[in-house]
Amino acid sequence: MGECNNCTRERALTGEDDVTVAFHKVVSHDNQNQFYNHQEDDEHGDDEQTDETVHLRTNYLQDEDGEEKQRARGSENVLEGGEKESLLCVLPAFCTRGKETASSGEETPPEEKPKKCPGLGLFYALLATVFFSIISLLVKTIEGLHAIEISAIRCFFQMLFVLPLLIYHKTGFLGPRDKRIYLVLRGFFGSNAMILLYYAVQQMPLADATVIMFSNPVFTSILAWVFLKERCTIWDCVFTVFTLTGVILIARPPFLFGEHLSGIEGDYTNHVKGTVAAFGGAIGAAFTFVILRKMGKSVHYYLSVWYYAVIGLLECIITTSVLGEWNLPFCGRDRWILMLIAVLGIAGQTFLTKALQIEKAGPVSLMRTVDVVLSFFFQFVFFHRVPTWWSLGGALCVVLSTSGVALRKWFNSSRKS
């Protein structure tokens, strides 16, 4: 038996799940003494053999079905003469598992990725554009309410919609500490852009206000060059000149076009106020896009909308209290329209975000040009106002410039990829 002392025997256990376990059996000195004691007991007539089961505990990686079980059992070990042997088993930490085994030689076919629906991102962008156009139309139909009050009601309902989403996604209400200043600025510039757009729609023709507000992509490129150090080319300068030309054609200042102007709503003073408000709204929207680009994906989208609604509501309440413009809508119809504006605002922002997640920014920006076409259509159908050639020329300049910015970004991103 001296040859069996401290000897090792190696065995392999292979399961149905392609698991290979290698273990060693070691006979110790203490167990050898115990073996001699058992031998003496066997001499008194106890010839009955006992099976000893060695349980092996193995840990291995989960397979695709999620099963995490493997048990290894040692077999009966008997020395010469039928004597029983006590074993001390040591399990090495070598357990290999793979989808492909040398014995089978079978290859698992690669998993097929679900195919994306072509054009789904552009469809989402189209829905967002239609919703935003309808919002401008509804704002134009409401009478007796200041644009700031309309904005306050929209922000209030937007808070009600976003609050359960924040709780569900567990994003918190303040956001990351190093991003809070950007969230505050995003809420400030975004809410001011909304207020100025609504004010411009109330003071000037719907199409003219929409066209000027739509010029924000050009200003976004300039602000990104200033604050984000992005590249600015000669094309950006050309597009900026085209945009400013379109704004001038729509505004038609008297020192260029004379005192007698046609195609404006009310007096020229309101027209100038609306033009300045729309231009300021475009700048505010451009600042908002630059801030969102600065934050990137480090902040959840609903948290950004939450700051937009909260800061906008506080700002509107303070401003309307100072101006004394706070009053309730005249009839139930206007109240339902205000609620519809809030719902369409949430839907439009959601679809626009989904579109940017699926599709590149260039095609989405091109799809947003439909907003200009819809504004002229709504102005003609619902308000029976025919656009002037000056307005059409200005709209053409703005659409060409914004489309040029979108196409250039689309081309650059496609070339890099």
Q: What is the pLDDT of residues 147-175, one digit of tens each?
A: 999 999 889 988 998 899 899 988 888 88
DSSP letters for 233-261: -HHHHHHHHHHHHHHHHHH--HHHH-S--
Is the pLDDT score of 387 beyond 50?
A: yes
Q: Tell me, yes or no, whether 254 lies in a domain.
A: yes
- pLDDT value of position 255: 62
Stretch 372-401: mean pLDDT: 88
Q: Tell me, yes or no, whether 343 lies in a domain.
A: yes
> Which of 149, 162, 202 is CA-nearest to residue 338?
149
Is the pLDDT score of 326 beyond 60?
A: yes
For 62-99, the pLDDT digits (tens) are 444 444 444 444 444 433 334 443 433 444 444 444 44
**Number of structural domains found in the chain:** 1
Q: Other C-beta atoms within 10 Å of 285: how many?
A: 24
Q: Tell me, yes or no, whether 98 lies in a domain.
A: no
**Three-state DSSP class for residue 51:** coil
Kindly indicate the confidence band of residue 369, based on its pLDDT and cuts at 50, 70 and 90: confident
Kindly indicate the confidence band of residue 182, based on its pLDDT and cuts at 50, 70 and 90: very high
Helix, strand, coil fractions of the chain, as percent rounded to 5: 65, 5, 30
Stretch 318-344: mean pLDDT: 84
**CA distance linking residue 94 with residue 19, whole number of Å:** 10
Task: Flag whether the pTM goes above 0.85.
Answer: no
Instruction: Output the average pLDDT for the chain.
Output: 74
For 235-284, the pLDDT digits (tens) are 888 888 888 898 888 888 776 676 667 767 778 888 889 999 999 999 99
H-assigned helices in 103-146: 120-141
Is the pLDDT score of 105 beyond 70?
A: no
- pLDDT value of position 184: 94
Q: Tell me, yes or no, whether 94 lies in a domain.
A: no
- Region of poorest pLDDT, from 13-17, 286-290, 344-348: 13-17
Most confident of 11-25, 124-138, 360-374: 124-138
Q: Tell me, yes or no, whether 61 lies in a domain.
A: no
- pLDDT value of position 258: 67
- Region of poorest pLDDT, from 168-182, 238-252, 362-376, 384-398: 362-376
Q: Tell me, yes or no, whether 350 lies in a domain.
A: yes
**CA distance linking residue 333 with residue 387, whole number of Å:** 29
Cβ neighbors of 298 (< 8 A, separation 6 or more) are: 176, 179
Is the pLDDT score of 229 beyond 50?
A: yes
Is the pLDDT score of 372 beyond 90?
A: no
Domain interval for residue 385? 118-413
Q: Tell me, yes or no, whether 34 lies in a domain.
A: no
- pLDDT value of position 216: 85
Q: Tell me, yes or no, whether 80 lies in a domain.
A: no
